[in-house]
Amino acid sequence: MPLSIQEHVPLAPFTTLGVGGPARYYTLARERDEVREAADWAFTRRQPLLVLGGGSNLVIADGGWSGLVLHVAVRGISSEPSGSEVALAVGAGEPWDELVSATVDKGWAGFECLSGIPGFVGATPIQNVGAYGQEVAESIVAVEAVELSTGRLATIESAACRFGYRDSRFKGADRGRYAIVGVRYRLRVGAPTSVRYPDLARALEERGAAEPTLADVRACVLAVRRRKSMVVDAADPFSRSVGSFFVNPITPAAAVDAAEESLRRRGHLAADERMPRYPVPPDGVKVPAAWLIERSGLPRGVRRGAVGLSPHHALAIVNHGGATAAEIASFAREVRDRVRDRTGFVLSPEPVFVGLTF
């Protein structure tokens, strides 16, 4: 079938934040060949190209997108067990949490702590999606992607993806180069869950799961995320967000000690209080961005009109209804600047800004 190109399609309904103007051109690609055709269509007409997946990590400008939006919806899941492992090949347009649910039901370990994260499978390698001590990079074998400038289908092995903390080559040096169309994973069959995150371990203990199963972990993670409005739910107005808006900063321990002492001198930290920190090998320290935000005088629930921090989690910027992308970006810059001025830490955004500066 010929490529179906629509015009002036609103983009806000495709995003979890619910903001963004129209796409000048829009196409939905359900097959790998359609992705290649769309890339060629944009290239030959010199139209800027925006690749869209589940829309859970985008802040799109109110003016929309002046070129072609390529909405990747390639589906399909195949599995091949081999001893204590199972190989999965998954289309980029598969909903992530549905995949997590299916693997937990089958007793395949590797995704259970990543329950409740919105979006499609294709986004998971870009961000190196992670939560509660687990990262998707631990399970990725390879990424299948169309190189947009050539239409070439490439298979990029995990080691070549340059995964880091919420980072990859697709987010950095190769941003805009590829459209991910599939991901290959390797999970553990019948293996016990590996709970590494202290808060999750405590939550499981409180639920009476001394030796938690994969299902126990998933249920617990979903319950915790729902309490924080971090599960997309039409009935929860505080879930109209991109989840965590800022990345937890990682810095040398000496820098954290210096920031802690500065806060103490200025009366923002009690004499016996410590700045929370978590070791990140080989020699880094992670500081919770939510703690930095609240210590900067921005409490949970603070609002600027239709935009504000979630009352359940300081890391989530919420569209309370009717907010514009410009208002979201302005509030995000206010949060960043307050944290920088009060603590010295510069927060980086997790979502991608389209047509907006941060």
Q: Is residue 232 part of a domain?
A: no
Query: In this predicted structure, what is the pLDDT of residue 250?
Result: 94
Over the chain (358 residues), what is each successive 10-residue block's mean pLDDT?
92 97 98 96 96 96 98 98 96 98 97 96 96 95 97 97 95 95 97 86 89 95 95 94 96 92 91 91 91 96 98 97 98 98 95 94
φ, ψ (nearest 5 deg) of residue 258:
-65, -40
Same domain, 192 and 248: no
Phi-psi category of residue 325: left, alpha or beta, with phi > 0 → left and psi -120 to 50 → alpha: alpha
Does 313 map to a domain?
yes
The pLDDT of residue 1: 67
3-state secondary structure of 318: strand
Per-residue b or e along 274-308, where b marks 16 or more CB atoms closer than 10 Å to that residue's CB: ebebeeeeeebbbbbbbbbbbbbebebebeeebbb
Hey, what amino acid is at 182?
G
Instruction: Return the axis-axis angle of helices 96-105 and 214-227, rounded to nearest 10°.
Output: 150
Domain range for residue 165?
77-227
Residue 41 and residue 103 in one domain: no
Q: Is residue 1 part of a domain?
A: no
The Cα diameter of the chain in Å comes to 69
Which residues lie across from 51 on neighbouring strands?
A: 70
Q: Look at residues 168, 202, 227 and tell me which one is the last residue of a structural domain.
A: 227
Residue 147: CA atoms inside 13 Å, Cβ hemisphere, count? 8
Nearest to 35 by CA among 202, 199, 178: 178
How far apart are the C-alpha atoms of 345 and 8, rounded to whole Å?
Answer: 40
Query: Residues 84, 205: one domain?
Result: yes
Q: Among residues 175, 90, 56, 74, which one has the least CA distance to residue 126?
A: 175
3-class secondary structure, 155: strand
Amino acid at 148: L
What pLDDT sits at residue 345?
Answer: 95
Domain contains 220: yes
The 3-class SS string of 39-97 reads HHHHHHCCCCEEEECCCCCEEECCCCEEEEEEEECCCCEEEEEECCEEEEEEECCCEHH
* CATH assignment at residue 255: 3.90.78.10
Bond before 81 cis per omega within 30 degrees? no
Number of separate domains in the chain: 3
Q: Which residues belong to the active site?
A: 166, 244, 350
Residue 145 to residue 210: CA distance in whole angstroms:
41
Please state whether the predicted TM-score (pTM) of the whole model is above 0.85. yes
Among 293, 273, 277, smallest CA distance to 342 is for 293
**Contact (Cβ atoms closer than 8 angstroms) between residue 158 and residue 136:** no
Asked whether residue 127 falls in the same domain as residue 187, the answer is: yes
